[in-house]
């Protein structure tokens, strides 16, 4: 189902403006970037009268290959006919005292400094999963893969949770209304809950004693590798996989420990998604986003994810109403950031 355009209720602390926006600038293409711990995705975006903003040019960069984000922006702009004056920046974390707080970024991110270094008229910031939630307006069944259908006549309506394990674990929630609302969350930092048996054995090898361990510790790319390494320790086996991608490849090739690591990952993902679905009443669905997940859909489908999602005691009938879909991250963060920028800018500058 395609959902209405969303609008943000974030405050203006997330904006850095050096010059007033002129009327002519409202129709100019601008830059939108989606910055993760591993990749920086950036696009030149043009406003559209209706529908999704139009991405005129798009590139993805490895963050580790660049000393700072301004280097990526400059490199991207070299091939453009005219230098854009605005940048909207989506990144994991949140803005505090003018600095983006996120331990997974490759370098410090300070929007005001970035605007000065790039001579931008303004730089705006929002959470990356807040941006993804805005992009949900352009996702339908043809651009997503269903892991769980909804058994309800009004399936697809109501709040939507967007969850994504990448370098870290992000989450945001879209709420319907006039206008709709999007809130960013730090749900990935919720205390990881383990069941008895193997999960407890694995957690004992991942978590320091008597210390906070977030869901992000296992529900992320690095987290998948932690699960694999912990299982190798449990079974007294040498860990042959050095990267998360190696774990996926080994599981697909029949390695039993790598496959079990993905089953643990799926089980914890189902529990986490079910908790958020109950907390926010997400009858509109749960969307699992990210290129990482899109590569393991078949492994997730045959694993415990859906059953663990449903296994919430008396809440099981409610959770049967909630669909679960996987969407490829791709350009969604760039499109969502651009949509947020256009709609909040329009709302802010409307007369009266």
Q: Which of 66-70, 161-165, 293-297 has the lowest mean pLDDT?
A: 293-297
Q: Residue 253 has which token pair?
A: 């090739």
Rounded Cα gap, residues 239 and 225, in angstroms: 10
DSSP state of 4: P
Mean pLDDT, range 168-188, rounded to an integer: 85
Mean pLDDT, range 143-159, rounded to an integer: 79
Say whether pLDDT at 17 is over 80.
no
pLDDT at 144: 86
Q: Which of 3-17, 181-195, 252-266 has the lowest mean pLDDT?
A: 3-17
pTM: predicted TM-score of the whole model, two decimal places: 0.81
| Closest C-alpha among 279, 278, 293 to residue 325 | 293
- Element (H or E) spanning 285, and its range? strand 285-289
Over the range 328-348, which residues count as b (16 or more CB within 10 Å of their CB) and which as e?
A: bbbbbbbbbbbbbbbbbbeee
- Beta strands at 160-165 and 285-289: parallel, antiparallel or unpaired: parallel
Q: State the chain's maximal CA–CA distance in angstroms.
A: 69
pLDDT at 349: 46
Banded pLDDT at 20 (limits 50, 70, 90):
very low
Q: Which of 128-132, 217-221, 305-309 has the lowest mean pLDDT?
A: 128-132
Give 112-129 pLDDT, tens digit per residue: 999 999 999 999 999 888
Say whether pLDDT at 14 is over 70.
no
Q: Residue 20 has which token pair?
A: 């007033």
CB 47 within 8 A of CB 342: yes
Give 37-85 pLDDT, tens digit per residue: 888 999 999 988 777 789 999 999 999 999 999 999 999 999 888 889 9
Q: Residue 163 has which token pair?
A: 């969850």
The string of DSSP codes covering 18-39 is SSPPPGGGGGS-EEEEEE-SSE
Domains and CATH numbers, the chain: 12-134+331-349 (3.30.420.40), 150-322 (3.40.367.20)
Say whether pLDDT at 4 is over 80.
no
Question: In the chain, where does DSSP find H-type helix?
Answer: 69-77, 111-118, 128-135, 198-206, 221-234, 244-252, 256-280, 291-294, 297-301, 305-310, 316-319, 332-349
Sheet holding 160-165, edge to edge: 145-148, 324-327, 285-289, 160-165, 169-175, 181-185
CB 72 within 8 A of CB 61: yes
Mean pLDDT, range 297-304, rounded to an integer: 91
pLDDT at 324: 95
Q: Which of 165-179, 184-198, 223-237 has the lowest mean pLDDT?
A: 165-179
CA dist 337 → 15, 73, 101, 270, 276 (Å): 13, 16, 18, 27, 23
Banded pLDDT at 201 (limits 50, 70, 90):
very high
pLDDT at 303: 92
| Closest C-alpha among 311, 322, 316 to residue 154 | 322
Considering the chain, what is the average pLDDT of its residues? 85
pLDDT at 154: 61
Percent of the chain topping pLDDT 70: 88
Question: Is 312 exposed, middle or buried, given 0-12, 13-18 or 19+ CB atoms closer than 10 A?
Answer: middle
Banded pLDDT at 311 (limits 50, 70, 90):
very high
Rounded Cα gap, residues 208 and 324, in angstroms: 33
Contacts of 266 (CB under 8 A, 6+ apart): 299, 300, 303, 304, 305, 308
Q: Which of 117-121, 148-152, 235-239 has the lowest mean pLDDT?
A: 148-152
């Amino acid at each position: 189902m395609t959902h209405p355009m969303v609008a943000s209720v974030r405050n203006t602390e997330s904006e850095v403006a050096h010059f007033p926006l002129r009327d002519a600038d409202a129709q100019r293409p601008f830059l939108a970037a989606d910055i993760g711990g591993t990749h920086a995705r950036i696009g030149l975006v043009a406003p559209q009268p209706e529908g999704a903003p139009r991405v005129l040019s798009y590139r993805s960069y490895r963050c580790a290959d660049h000393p700072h984000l301004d280097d990526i922006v400059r490199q991207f702009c070299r091939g453009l006919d005219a230098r854009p004056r605005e940048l909207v920046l989506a990144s994991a974390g949140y803005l505090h005292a003018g600095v983006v707080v996120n331990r997974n970024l490759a370098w410090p991110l300070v929007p005001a400094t970035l605007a000065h270094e790039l001579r931008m008229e303004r730089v705006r910031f929002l959470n990356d999963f807040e941006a993804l939630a805005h992009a949900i307006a352009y996702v339908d069944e043809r651009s997503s893969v269903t892991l769980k259908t909804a058994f309800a006549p009004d399936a697809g309506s109501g709040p939507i949770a967007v969850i994504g394990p990448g370098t870290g674990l992000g989450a945001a929630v879209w709420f319907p209304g006039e206008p709709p609302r999007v809130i960013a969350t730090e749900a990935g930092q919720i205390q990881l809950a383990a069941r008895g048996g193997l999960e407890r054995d694995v957690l004992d090898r991942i978590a320091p004693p008597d210390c906070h361990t977030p869901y992000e510790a296992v529900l992320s790319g690095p987290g998948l590798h932690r699960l694999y390494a912990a299982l190798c320790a449990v079974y007294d086996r040498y860990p042959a996989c050095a990267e998360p991608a190696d774990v996926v490849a080994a599981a697909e090739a029949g390695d039993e420990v790598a496959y079990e690591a993905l089953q643990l990952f799926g089980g914890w993902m189902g529990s986490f998604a079910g908790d958020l679905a109950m907390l926010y009443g997400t009858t509109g669905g749960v969307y699992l986003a990210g290129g990482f997940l899109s590569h393991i859909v078949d492994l997730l489908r045959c694993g415990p994810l859906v059953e663990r999602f449903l296994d919430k005691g008396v809440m099981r009938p409610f959770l049967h109403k909630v669909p679960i879909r996987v969407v490829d991250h791709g350009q969604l963060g760039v499109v969502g950031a651009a949509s947020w920028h256009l709609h909040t800018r329009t709302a802010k500058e409307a007369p009266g």
